[in-house]
Copies of this chain bind each other. A is one copy, B any other.
Protein backbone atom coordinates (compact mmCIF):
# COMPACT_ATOMS: atom_id res chain seq x y z
CA UNK A 1 0.00 0.00 0.00
CA UNK A 2 1.80 3.10 -1.19
CA UNK A 3 0.77 6.70 -0.55
CA UNK A 4 -0.64 8.07 -3.80
CA UNK A 5 0.61 11.56 -4.55
CA UNK A 6 -0.57 14.21 -7.00
CA UNK A 7 1.53 17.23 -7.93
CA UNK A 8 -0.24 20.42 -8.88
CA UNK A 9 2.10 22.77 -10.75
CA UNK A 10 5.18 21.54 -12.58
CA UNK A 11 7.93 24.13 -12.28
CA UNK A 12 11.19 23.70 -10.34
CA UNK A 13 9.32 22.80 -7.16
CA UNK A 14 6.97 20.32 -8.82
CA UNK A 15 9.87 18.60 -10.53
CA UNK A 16 11.67 18.51 -7.18
CA UNK A 17 8.69 16.74 -5.61
CA UNK A 18 8.62 14.23 -8.46
CA UNK A 19 12.30 13.55 -7.86
CA UNK A 20 11.81 13.27 -4.09
CA UNK A 21 8.99 10.74 -4.47
CA UNK A 22 11.50 8.47 -6.21
CA UNK A 23 13.57 8.56 -3.00
CA UNK A 24 10.60 7.54 -0.84
CA UNK A 25 9.66 3.94 -1.59
CA UNK A 26 6.37 4.15 0.33
CA UNK A 27 5.08 6.76 -2.15
CA UNK A 28 3.86 6.70 -5.70
CA UNK A 29 3.29 9.56 -8.11
CA UNK A 30 -0.16 9.26 -9.69
CA UNK A 31 -0.26 12.40 -11.77
CA UNK A 32 0.98 15.89 -12.42
CA UNK A 33 -1.64 18.60 -12.97
CA UNK A 34 -0.71 21.59 -15.05
CA UNK A 35 -2.23 24.63 -16.74
CA UNK A 36 -0.17 23.85 -19.80
CA UNK A 37 -1.21 21.42 -22.50
CA UNK A 38 -0.47 18.10 -20.77
CA UNK A 39 0.74 16.64 -24.07
CA UNK A 40 3.64 19.11 -23.92
CA UNK A 41 4.67 18.08 -20.39
CA UNK A 42 7.31 15.36 -20.20
CA UNK A 43 7.46 13.60 -16.83
CA UNK A 44 10.48 11.71 -15.55
CA UNK A 45 8.33 9.08 -13.86
CA UNK A 46 7.46 6.37 -16.38
CA UNK A 47 4.12 5.27 -14.95
CA UNK A 48 2.75 8.69 -13.98
CA UNK A 49 0.69 10.90 -16.27
CA UNK A 50 0.35 14.61 -16.89
CA UNK A 51 -3.21 15.96 -16.78
CA UNK A 52 -4.76 19.34 -17.33
CA UNK A 53 -5.43 21.04 -14.01
CA UNK A 54 -9.17 20.91 -14.73
CA UNK A 55 -9.04 17.11 -14.41
CA UNK A 56 -7.70 17.20 -10.84
CA UNK A 57 -10.94 17.19 -8.87
CA UNK A 58 -12.31 14.24 -10.82
CA UNK A 59 -9.36 12.21 -9.52
CA UNK A 60 -9.96 12.95 -5.86
CA UNK A 61 -10.52 9.30 -4.98
CA UNK A 62 -7.30 8.17 -6.64
CA UNK A 63 -4.98 10.58 -4.81
CA UNK A 64 -4.14 10.43 -1.09
CA UNK A 65 -2.30 13.74 -0.92
CA UNK A 66 -2.09 16.59 -3.42
CA UNK A 67 1.15 18.57 -3.14
CA UNK A 68 0.55 22.12 -4.32
CA UNK A 69 3.62 23.48 -6.08
CA UNK A 70 2.40 26.87 -7.26
CA UNK A 71 3.68 30.29 -6.19
CA UNK A 72 2.68 32.17 -3.06
CA UNK A 73 1.84 35.44 -4.82
CA UNK A 74 -1.21 34.38 -6.80
CA UNK A 75 -1.48 30.56 -7.04
CA UNK A 76 -1.59 29.22 -3.48
CA UNK A 77 -3.91 31.84 -1.91
CA UNK A 78 -6.59 30.53 -4.29
CA UNK A 79 -5.51 26.93 -4.88
CA UNK A 80 -4.92 25.70 -1.33
CA UNK A 81 -8.37 26.66 0.03
CA UNK A 82 -9.94 25.32 -3.17
CA UNK A 83 -8.21 21.93 -3.38
CA UNK A 84 -8.48 21.43 0.41
CA UNK A 85 -12.20 20.93 -0.27
CA UNK A 86 -11.36 17.67 -2.05
CA UNK A 87 -7.89 16.50 -1.04
CA UNK A 88 -5.41 16.23 1.76
CA UNK A 89 -3.05 19.00 0.67
CA UNK A 90 0.43 20.28 1.47
CA UNK A 91 1.72 23.67 0.33
CA UNK A 92 4.84 25.82 0.70
CA UNK A 93 3.04 29.16 1.12
CA UNK A 94 5.86 31.50 2.11
CA UNK A 95 4.45 35.01 2.45
CA UNK A 96 5.11 35.24 6.19
CA UNK A 97 2.69 38.08 6.87
CA UNK A 98 -0.12 36.34 5.00
CA UNK A 99 0.07 33.06 6.91
CA UNK A 100 -2.64 33.69 9.57
CA UNK A 101 -5.23 34.59 6.91
CA UNK A 102 -4.17 31.73 4.64
CA UNK A 103 -4.41 29.35 7.62
CA UNK A 104 -7.97 30.40 8.41
CA UNK A 105 -9.19 29.98 4.85
CA UNK A 106 -7.52 26.60 4.36
CA UNK A 107 -8.66 25.39 7.77
CA UNK A 108 -12.29 26.21 6.92
CA UNK A 109 -12.06 24.11 3.73
CA UNK A 110 -10.37 21.18 5.45
CA UNK A 111 -12.69 21.14 8.45
CA UNK A 112 -15.55 20.97 5.99
CA UNK A 113 -14.09 18.23 3.81
CA UNK A 114 -12.75 16.21 6.74
CA UNK A 115 -9.28 16.31 5.18
CA UNK A 116 -5.88 17.41 6.42
CA UNK A 117 -4.01 20.40 5.06
CA UNK A 118 -0.48 21.40 6.02
CA UNK A 119 0.64 24.88 4.99
CA UNK A 120 3.90 26.84 4.94
CA UNK A 121 6.04 23.72 4.59
CA UNK A 122 9.62 24.09 3.40
CA UNK A 123 12.65 25.57 5.10
CA UNK A 124 11.72 29.21 5.75
CA UNK A 125 8.89 29.02 6.61
CA UNK A 126 9.24 25.42 7.68
CA UNK A 127 12.35 23.89 9.20
CA UNK A 128 13.69 27.30 10.25
CA UNK A 129 10.38 28.13 11.94
CA UNK A 130 10.35 24.80 13.74
CA UNK A 131 13.85 25.36 15.04
CA UNK A 132 12.95 28.84 16.24
CA UNK A 133 10.12 27.41 18.36
CA UNK A 134 12.22 24.56 19.77
CA UNK A 135 14.99 26.99 20.67
CA UNK A 136 12.61 29.54 22.21
CA UNK A 137 10.86 26.85 24.24
CA UNK A 138 14.17 25.62 25.68
CA UNK A 139 15.99 28.94 26.09
CA UNK A 140 13.12 31.14 27.21
CA UNK A 141 15.38 34.14 27.76
CA UNK A 142 17.52 34.91 24.75
CA UNK A 143 17.77 36.38 21.30
CA UNK A 144 16.99 34.95 17.84
CA UNK A 145 19.03 35.44 14.71
CA UNK A 146 18.39 34.33 11.14
CA UNK A 147 20.96 34.65 8.37
CA UNK A 148 20.21 33.64 4.80
CA UNK A 149 22.62 32.33 2.21
CA UNK A 150 24.88 31.81 0.57
CA UNK A 151 22.12 31.59 -1.97
CA UNK A 152 20.39 32.88 -5.04
CA UNK A 153 17.63 35.40 -4.47
CA UNK A 154 15.14 35.20 -7.31
CA UNK A 155 13.67 38.62 -6.50
CA UNK A 156 17.03 40.36 -6.51
CA UNK A 157 18.13 38.56 -9.68
CA UNK A 158 14.92 39.76 -11.36
CA UNK A 159 15.62 43.32 -10.13
CA UNK A 160 19.07 43.27 -11.75
CA UNK A 161 17.61 42.09 -15.02
CA UNK A 162 15.24 45.06 -15.11
CA UNK A 163 18.16 47.53 -15.18
CA UNK A 164 18.68 49.15 -18.62
CA UNK A 165 21.69 47.63 -20.42
CA UNK A 166 21.53 44.33 -18.48
CA UNK A 167 21.09 41.22 -20.57
CA UNK A 168 21.08 38.70 -17.74
CA UNK A 169 22.16 38.44 -14.11
CA UNK A 170 22.14 36.53 -10.88
CA UNK A 171 22.32 37.73 -7.29
CA UNK A 172 23.69 35.88 -4.25
CA UNK A 173 22.77 36.80 -0.69
CA UNK A 174 25.76 36.13 1.58
CA UNK A 175 25.81 36.23 5.38
CA UNK A 176 28.61 38.38 6.81
CA UNK A 177 30.99 35.90 8.44
CA UNK A 178 32.05 38.25 11.26
CA UNK A 179 28.41 38.87 12.16
CA UNK A 180 27.76 35.13 12.35
CA UNK A 181 30.85 34.70 14.53
CA UNK A 182 29.76 37.44 16.89
CA UNK A 183 26.38 35.73 17.36
CA UNK A 184 28.08 32.38 17.95
CA UNK A 185 30.28 33.97 20.62
CA UNK A 186 27.12 34.93 22.51
CA UNK A 187 27.72 38.67 22.19
CA UNK A 188 24.00 39.33 21.52
CA UNK A 189 24.86 41.94 18.88
CA UNK A 190 22.36 44.31 17.28
CA UNK A 191 22.87 44.55 13.53
CA UNK A 192 21.95 47.00 10.83
CA UNK A 193 20.79 45.45 7.55
CA UNK A 194 24.21 46.15 6.05
CA UNK A 195 26.04 44.36 8.84
CA UNK A 196 24.23 41.03 8.41
CA UNK A 197 24.29 40.27 4.69
CA UNK A 198 26.29 41.11 1.57
CA UNK A 199 24.86 41.07 -1.94
CA UNK A 200 27.00 39.77 -4.79
CA UNK A 201 25.81 40.26 -8.37
CA UNK A 202 26.97 38.58 -11.57
CA UNK A 203 25.86 40.65 -14.54
CA UNK A 204 25.93 40.14 -18.29
CA UNK A 205 25.79 43.58 -19.92
CA UNK A 206 24.42 44.31 -23.38
CA UNK A 207 27.11 45.00 -25.95
CA UNK A 208 28.26 48.60 -25.68
CA UNK A 209 26.33 49.25 -22.45
CA UNK A 210 27.81 51.64 -19.86
CA UNK A 211 28.99 49.27 -17.11
CA UNK A 212 29.71 52.05 -14.65
CA UNK A 213 26.16 53.28 -14.99
CA UNK A 214 24.74 49.76 -14.54
CA UNK A 215 26.84 49.13 -11.46
CA UNK A 216 25.81 52.44 -9.97
CA UNK A 217 22.15 51.85 -10.67
CA UNK A 218 22.22 48.38 -9.07
CA UNK A 219 24.09 49.51 -5.97
CA UNK A 220 21.70 52.37 -5.32
CA UNK A 221 18.45 50.56 -6.03
CA UNK A 222 16.15 51.26 -3.06
CA UNK A 223 14.83 48.26 -1.05
CA UNK A 224 16.86 45.77 -3.05
CA UNK A 225 20.48 46.95 -2.76
CA UNK A 226 20.87 50.46 -1.32
CA UNK A 227 20.95 49.24 2.31
CA UNK A 228 23.61 46.60 1.63
CA UNK A 229 27.24 46.38 0.66
CA UNK A 230 26.90 45.16 -2.90
CA UNK A 231 29.58 43.75 -5.18
CA UNK A 232 28.96 43.74 -8.94
CA UNK A 233 30.93 41.50 -11.31
CA UNK A 234 30.54 41.75 -15.07
CA UNK A 235 30.87 38.39 -16.78
CA UNK A 236 30.07 36.85 -20.15
CA UNK A 237 26.89 35.01 -20.98
CA UNK A 238 28.91 31.78 -21.20
CA UNK A 239 30.36 32.31 -17.72
CA UNK A 240 26.93 33.00 -16.27
CA UNK A 241 25.60 29.81 -17.75
CA UNK A 242 28.63 27.73 -16.77
CA UNK A 243 29.17 29.00 -13.21
CA UNK A 244 25.83 30.33 -12.04
CA UNK A 245 23.03 28.13 -13.31
CA UNK A 246 22.43 26.38 -9.98
CA UNK A 247 19.85 27.43 -7.38
CA UNK A 248 21.81 27.05 -4.14
CA UNK A 249 20.56 28.49 -0.87
CA UNK A 250 20.60 27.97 2.86
CA UNK A 251 21.08 29.88 6.04
CA UNK A 252 21.44 29.86 9.78
CA UNK A 253 18.95 30.06 12.65
CA UNK A 254 20.70 30.79 15.93
CA UNK A 255 19.34 31.39 19.40
CA UNK A 256 21.61 32.49 22.19
CA UNK A 257 20.21 32.45 25.69
CA UNK A 258 21.30 32.44 29.27
CA UNK A 259 20.54 29.96 32.04
CA UNK A 260 21.52 29.66 35.68
CA UNK A 261 20.39 31.28 38.88
CA UNK A 262 22.33 34.41 37.99
CA UNK A 263 22.04 33.92 34.20
CA UNK A 264 25.73 33.13 34.31
CA UNK A 265 25.80 30.52 31.52
CA UNK A 266 25.52 31.23 27.79
CA UNK A 267 23.87 28.53 25.69
CA UNK A 268 23.86 28.60 21.89
CA UNK A 269 21.60 26.58 19.60
CA UNK A 270 22.32 26.70 15.86
CA UNK A 271 20.52 25.13 12.91
CA UNK A 272 21.87 25.57 9.42
CA UNK A 273 21.27 24.46 5.86
CA UNK A 274 23.71 24.41 2.98
CA UNK A 275 21.73 23.52 -0.11
CA UNK A 276 22.87 22.90 -3.66
CA UNK A 277 19.25 23.06 -4.76
CA UNK A 278 16.76 25.22 -2.92
CA UNK A 279 13.64 23.88 -4.73
CA UNK A 280 14.67 20.24 -4.35
CA UNK A 281 15.20 20.66 -0.62
CA UNK A 282 11.85 22.39 -0.20
CA UNK A 283 10.33 19.57 -2.25
CA UNK A 284 11.88 16.96 0.05
CA UNK A 285 10.33 18.67 3.07
CA UNK A 286 6.94 18.78 1.29
CA UNK A 287 7.16 15.06 0.58
CA UNK A 288 7.91 14.20 4.21
CA UNK A 289 4.93 16.28 5.35
CA UNK A 290 2.72 14.66 2.70
CA UNK A 291 3.36 11.40 4.58
CA UNK A 292 2.23 13.11 7.78
CA UNK A 293 -0.91 14.46 6.09
CA UNK A 294 -1.80 10.97 4.91
CA UNK A 295 -1.30 9.41 8.34
CA UNK A 296 -3.12 12.12 10.27
CA UNK A 297 -6.08 11.81 7.95
CA UNK A 298 -6.07 8.00 8.28
CA UNK A 299 -6.32 8.54 12.04
CA UNK A 300 -9.48 10.57 11.45
CA UNK A 301 -7.97 14.00 11.99
CA UNK A 302 -8.97 16.99 9.88
CA UNK A 303 -8.24 20.70 9.49
CA UNK A 304 -5.22 22.85 8.80
CA UNK A 305 -1.88 22.11 10.48
CA UNK A 306 1.59 23.59 10.37
CA UNK A 307 4.99 22.12 11.16
CA UNK A 308 4.40 23.17 14.78
CA UNK A 309 1.50 20.73 15.18
CA UNK A 310 3.07 17.53 13.87
CA UNK A 311 5.37 15.11 15.73
CA UNK A 312 8.48 14.18 13.77
CA UNK A 313 7.53 10.49 13.89
CA UNK A 314 4.76 11.24 11.36
CA UNK A 315 7.38 12.32 8.80
CA UNK A 316 9.41 9.14 8.91
CA UNK A 317 9.00 5.93 6.97
CA UNK A 318 10.24 4.02 10.02
CA UNK A 319 8.08 2.71 12.84
CA UNK A 320 8.12 4.30 16.29
CA UNK A 321 9.98 1.26 17.63
CA UNK A 322 12.66 1.60 14.96
CA UNK A 323 12.98 5.33 15.58
CA UNK A 324 13.53 4.81 19.30
CA UNK A 325 16.03 2.02 18.70
CA UNK A 326 18.02 3.72 15.96
CA UNK A 327 17.93 7.45 16.63
CA UNK A 328 17.19 8.11 20.31
Which residues of A line the B interface, CB within 8 A?
16, 19-20, 22-24, 44, 96, 99-100, 103, 120, 125, 127, 129-134, 136-141, 184, 246, 250, 259-261, 264-277, 280-281, 283-285, 288, 291, 306-313, 315-317, 320-321, 323-325, 327-328
Q: How far is the CA of A141 from the CA of B271 in the complex (A)?
A: 20
Q: How far is the CA of A184 from the CA of B269 in the complex (A)?
A: 18
Q: When the two chains form their complex, are residues B24 and A328 in contact, meaning their CB atoms are under 8 A apart?
A: no
Q: How far is the CA of A19 from the CA of B323 in the complex (A)?
A: 32
Q: How far is the CB of A127 from chain B (nearest CB, A)?
A: 7
**In the complex, what residues of B have CB within 8 A of residue A312's CB?**
130, 133-134, 137, 307-308
Q: When the two chains form their complex, are residues B328 and A288 in contact, meaning their CB atoms are under 8 A apart?
A: no
**In the complex, what residues of B have CB within 8 A of residue A127's CB?**
134, 138, 269
Number of copies of chain A assembled together: 2
Given A133-B327, A259-B23, A268-B273, residue A138 in contact with residue B311 (CB < 8 A): no
Q: When the two chains form their complex, are residues A261 and B44 in contact, meaning their CB atoms are under 8 A apart?
A: yes
**In the complex, what residues of B have CB within 8 A of residue A270's CB?**
270-274
Nearest to A283 among chain B residues (CB) is B259
Q: When the two chains form their complex, are residues B324 and A140 in contact, meaning their CB atoms are under 8 A apart?
A: no
Q: When the two chains form their complex, are residues B16 and A259 in contact, meaning their CB atoms are under 8 A apart?
A: yes
Q: How far is the CA of A260 from the CA of B315 in the complex (A)?
A: 20
Q: When the two chains form their complex, are residues B324 and A308 in contact, meaning their CB atoms are under 8 A apart?
A: yes
**In the complex, what residues of B have CB within 8 A of residue A250's CB?**
268
Given A23-B259, A137-B288, A259-B23, residue A323 in contact with residue B311 (CB < 8 A): no
**In the complex, what residues of B have CB within 8 A of residue A309's CB?**
311, 313, 320
Q: How far is the CB of A202 from chain B (nearest CB, A)?
A: 20
Given A100-B324, A139-B284, A328-B125, residue A265 in contact with residue B276 (CB < 8 A): yes
Q: How far is the CA of A23 from the CA of B259 in the complex (A)?
A: 8
Q: When the two chains form their complex, are residues B259 and A267 in contact, meaning their CB atoms are under 8 A apart?
A: no
**In the complex, what residues of B have CB within 8 A of residue A246's CB?**
265
Q: How far is the CB of A140 from chain B (nearest CB, A)?
A: 5
